[in-house]
Every structure is written in structure tokens, then in C-alpha cells.
Amino acid sequence: MSKTILSILCATVLLGACTSYNQKNYKRYDGISYAEYERQRKEREQQYEYLYETVSEEDITSPYDAAPEVVEEDVVESVNSSYGEAVVVMASKKISLGRDANYSDMEKFQRALDSAYGTVFSHYKADGFTYAMSPAGTVNPLSVIDVQCILSESFATAKGKAVCDYFFTQIPLEYAKEKENAKNL
């Protein structure tokens, strides 16, 4: 059986070696002709020529061509004159909730953030102080939370570092309280 396979293999190799390679065989190949596609495209354009009409600007009427309405803008200012002021992300910290964090842990963490925010806000009365949070875990997005301390630009230069440091020290304390309250329930 193996002699038969070996002899067939040798015969195919010899047959392939005996055939001649001739470039003229490949010159008979015309290649791809795009003339037919071009003809079909031109036929479609002629068939739907009305769709390709050009429109001049004079043909277009606008609802705003009528007399422009004059609107007076009210200037809105807040009580502390910080309306419209730029905000700055003063600090950012990644806080781990554990590898197996779930939505109940996230709920506790959200309540802890709200409590820490209230504590810091009542202690510093910071203008434009807020926070932002986003999931940052790779496998479990809730395992690590990125918390940003955001302040108005004018307040950030004066006491921004102290406010954010106090905020980031309050978060783990409040989170521990929330976890303890959940255990007691």
C-alpha cells in the first residue's frame, strides 16, 4: 500500500516537472474589464437623471428670511457670582471595592460618597465643589471606582488641595460606616 502511494506521488512530481511554464499562457488572460460596469453606471445616471439636478441658492427659501427677531438676553448671575465659571478636576483617586463587588456594594459606596460630600461641603462651604465617579475595574467594572474631586477654578487655587484631601479621607470612613450599617440590618 505504501509502495502504491509512493509511486503515485513520484508520478505526480515527474508529471509536474515535465510540464513547461510558458508566459504566453498567461498573456491570453484579459483581466477584469470595468467597461461593463461603467456602461451600467451611465445607464443608471440617465435613468435617474432627475435626481442629479442642481438647485440654485435662489430656489431655496428659508424660514429665517423674514425680518430677524431681536431677542434681549437676560444676564443670569448666581448669588456668589460664580455662574459660568470654569471647573477644574483638582484630584482623582481610584478606590477599590473588592474583586467581587456587586451592585449592592456600589449602592453602599454611592451613599458613602454622598455622606462624604455633605460632610466636606458643610465643613468648607466650597464654591463649585462636586465629584464625579466612574467604574474603572478591568474584569469587574465595579471592583475599582475612579472618583474625581471637582472644584470651581477660583476656589481650587485657594483651598482646593485641602478640600480634596479631606474629601478623600472621608470616603473610606463613610464607606466603612455604610458596610457596618448593612451588617446590622
Domain housing 167: 87-184
* Confidence check: pLDDT of 74 > 60: no
* Confidence check: pLDDT of 114 > 80: yes
Whether residue 174 is contained in a domain is answered as yes
Where does the pLDDT of residue 72 fall: very low under 50, low under 70, confident under 90, or very high at 90 and above? very low
Cβ neighbors of 165 (< 8 A, separation 6 or more) are 91
* Residue bearing the bigger pLDDT, 67 or 34: 34
Number of domains in the chain: 1
CA separation for the pair 115, 63 (Å, rounded): 52
Shortest CA distance to 105 belongs to which of 68, 145, 162? 145
Where does the pLDDT of residue 15 fall: very low under 50, low under 70, confident under 90, or very high at 90 and above? low
Shortest CA distance to 115 belongs to which of 183, 179, 162, 161? 179
- Give pLDDT, residue 40: 80
- Angle of helix 103-124 relative to helix 153-184, nearest 10 degrees, comes to 130
* Confidence check: pLDDT of 162 > 60: yes
- Give pLDDT, residue 75: 44
Please give the backbone phi and psi of residue 4, each rounded to the nearest 5 degrees, phi first: -65, -45
* Confidence check: pLDDT of 34 > 60: yes
Whether residue 119 is contained in a domain is answered as yes
Whether residue 149 is contained in a domain is answered as yes
Whether residue 28 is contained in a domain is answered as no
Whether residue 160 is contained in a domain is answered as yes
Question: 0.75 cut: is pTM over it?
Answer: no
The identity of residue 5, as a single letter, is: I
Task: Tell me the pLDDT of the chain averaged across its residues.
Answer: 75
Half-sphere exposure of 148 (CA within 13 A, CB side): 11
Where does the pLDDT of residue 77 fall: very low under 50, low under 70, confident under 90, or very high at 90 and above? very low
- Give pLDDT, residue 116: 92
Residue 168 belongs to a domain with what CATH number?
3.30.300
Whether residue 103 is contained in a domain is answered as yes
Whether residue 59 is contained in a domain is answered as no
- Give pLDDT, residue 56: 58
Average pLDDT (51-56) is 57
- Give pLDDT, residue 73: 46
